[in-house]
Amino acid sequence: MKRRNSITIAVPASMVSEISNLRDKTTVLGHLGRAAAIYRVDQIIIYRDEPDESLTMKYILGYLETPQYPRKHLFDVRPELQFAGILPPLRTPHHPSEEALSSINKGGFRDGVVVG
C-alpha cells in the first residue's frame, strides 16, 4: 500500500554528542535508523548544531540504509564505521534476504553496483 505523502524527520547533529564512545553512538544511531524504517520514514535530515557530529551520523545511517551485498563496494574503511558490524540488518523491501530465483516475482529488482 503506497502512501500519498512522504515522511521526513530532522535530527540535530549533536544528538550523539553526549555519548562518549563510538560503539554506543553506533548503537543509538542504529535504533534511530530501525525506528525510521519501521515507521517508513523516507528521509532523515541531519541539521548541524554544536557540537557537530553530522559526518559520523551520515556515515553510520548511510551504512545502515544500504543493503548488505553492495556495502563493501560503496563504503571505504572509515573510523566512523568501526562498529557498524554490530548493527543488525534492516528487514525492509530494499534489503532482501537471499532467496531462490524461482521465488522472485516477475519485475522484481535489486540495487546493484558495477565494479571494475
List, for residues 6-32, the tens digit of each pLDDT value: 999 999 999 999 999 999 999 999 999
Mean pLDDT of the 102-113 span: 69
Q: What is the pLDDT of residues 90-102, one digit of tens each?
A: 877 665 565 665 6
Q: Quick check: bond before 51 cis, omega within 30?
A: yes
Number of separate domains in the chain: 1
Residue 82 lies in a domain: yes
CATH code at 46? 3.40.1280.10
CA-CA distance, 45 to 56, in Å (whole number)? 14
In angstroms, the CA 65 to CA 59 distance is 10
Q: Is residue 41 part of a domain?
A: yes
Does any domain span residue 116? no
Residue 115 lies in a domain: no
Q: Which domain holds residue 71?
A: 8-103
What was the pLDDT predicted at 84? 94
Distance CA 55, CA 25 (A): 12
Task: Note if the pTM is more than 0.75.
Answer: yes
